[in-house]
Chain A
């Protein structure tokens, strides 16, 4: 990778074992800041596991063993001394199926602002509005901010989750196949938003649709059975893959 590009996340010999299955093997990746990095690969190859290791979400399970280093802002976030909520605050998550919190639309966005910044009143209203605008959903919800978030369509819920993540002011947006549960139009809206948001955030996108990766990615990491086979700028990986597995995957021989 070009040395001039600022790095957001770097892993060093990352190994993850879940329930005695070795899921990630010696992962060494560099994820550039303020770019969209796509993690591609066949299903079951560890894409989501890698993504969730970045905000230490894997540890919720009790049978997970993690070794190696994940360096964010020159700090190894796997260090046991760190306060885990602070790490997660830096990393917003957009999951496969949107899970709004069991609250109103407004409260979903205000939640993160309340727990981290302790703001309230008019300032809170303004910030909530800005986040909803940023996520391209303000127009649809401005008249029903206090309705339950569960009343929204799945596509709207996903954009609400995006607004909620942005409200915490993370540095990174971790997206775990965020369009796979959505209809084509809703998916397109999310893609457009991600493309826009990568100016302000480092976006890491796990996707199993190669075309989506081609449309959006600046940088690509190709995972195969727990190994990083290839990584590099998107045009390089897609147009001139070096490894036979990458070639086969991009051609569509393996999926």
Chain B
């Protein structure tokens, strides 16, 4: 009887801990969105997304951040695309079909370490590349920095979802006479698609929200970039500089910009899931 009481007690504590943890995380999410809306909502206007920033923006908080919105998209989308291309090939290569597990263990470990490297290090590293190749702060340099930042994230996420593909499915493809390439691209990739999308979105979220890696590489400007070698602003750096302003109106704009960033990430996430829904319904459970 006593033992049963103890076990029931454990069960209750366990349940309370689970609910408590969930509530802490959920409520902080709601609070973040709430504060961003509360502080920035009043300065959300059409001007915000139709006008480019000027010096006035930091002084008196008038004007928009169109250049940062476009800059962020021009930085993060190509970087995510590039990181996906590298990531999917590395992830497929890491599977036991191609690489001996003894070797892939080390590659996975180094990718995990890369994942943990602070993004400012990627920024500094890219400055070295820029100096070597002889170009300054630019869209191109920012894209390169973000690509490096996103590659470990996207690769490891895709890798984990591909690892979950059952051996039986691969065996089916092989016994039909598929080459390893056909099996990887036509079968494994399709089966792992939901995980691949999640991994790409994870990388995109990290890339579009990162300020440190683009601070030295993409630069900061009021102009919308017209070539790969132009400097560009981005939302994270814009938020940083707006928040530094002593003018409370400019600080409000920082929250408004943060809200726009949230909306962009959410829109891309919903869009990509909707677009791939057709192909994910074929996944074998």
Contact = CB atoms under 8 A, between A and B. Distances in A.
A99 B178 contact: no
Contact of A93 (B175, B187, B191, B281): B175
Interface in B136-177: 166-177
Given A62-B101, A85-B179, A115-B182, A99 B282 contact: no
A207 B173 CA distance: 23
Contact of A60 (B96, B100, B166, B177): B96
Contacts of B191: 102
A165 B175 contact: yes
Contact of A57 (B101, B174, B283): B174
A217 interface: no
B interface residue count range (under 10 / 10 to 19 / 20 to 34 / 35 or more): 20 to 34
Nearest to A86: B177
Given A62-B100, A95-B171, A85 B284 contact: no
B285 interface: yes
Nearest to A87: B177
A99 B285 contact: no
Nearest to B165: A102
Contacts of A112: 176-177
Nearest to A96: B168
Contact of B174 (A60, A111, A148, A149): A60
B206 interface: no
A102 B171 contact: no
Given A62-B96, A149-B282, A164 B166 contact: no
Per DSSP, chain A at the interface is mixed
A97 B173 contact: no
A102 B179 contact: no
Interface in A153-185: 161, 164-165, 168, 174
A149 B175 CA distance: 18
The B interface is mostly helix, strand or loop, or mixed, namely: helix
A22 interface: no
B200 to A, nearest CB: 18
B182 A149 contact: no
B186 interface: yes
B194 to A, nearest CB: 11
Interface string B48-76: 00000000000000000000000000000
A97 B282 contact: no
Contact of A115 (B97, B101, B178, B193): B178
B273 interface: no
Nearest to A111: B176
B190 interface: yes
Given A60-B167, A88-B175, A168-B177, A102 B284 contact: yes
B171 A99 contact: yes
A104 B177 CA distance: 19
A148 B171 contact: no
B176 A99 contact: no
Interface in B174-202: 174-179, 182, 186-187, 190-191, 193
Interface string B197-226: 000000000000000000000000000000
Given A150-B283, A150-B284, A102 B177 contact: no
A164 B170 contact: no
Contacts of A89: 176-177
Contact of A148 (B101, B170, B282): B282
Given A150-B284, A150-B285, A99 B172 contact: yes
Contact of A99 (B97, B101, B281, B284): B284
With a 10 A CB-CB cut-off, give which of A55, A97, A103, A164 has the most chain B CB atoms.
A103
Given A85-B178, A161-B172, 6 more contacts: A86-B177, A89-B176, A95-B168, A99-B169, A103-B282, A115-B177
15 contacts: A61-B96, A62-B100, A85-B177, A89-B177, A92-B176, A100-B172, A101-B190, A102-B187, A102-B191, A102-B284, A103-B190, A115-B182, A148-B281, A149-B284, A150-B283
Interface of A: 55, 57, 60-62, 85-86, 88-89, 91-93, 95, 97, 99-104, 111-112, 115-116, 148-150, 161, 164-165, 168, 174
9 closest A-B pairs by beta carbon, nearest first, are A89-B177, A93-B175, A99-B172, A102-B190, A102-B191, A99-B168, A99-B169, A102-B282, A112-B176
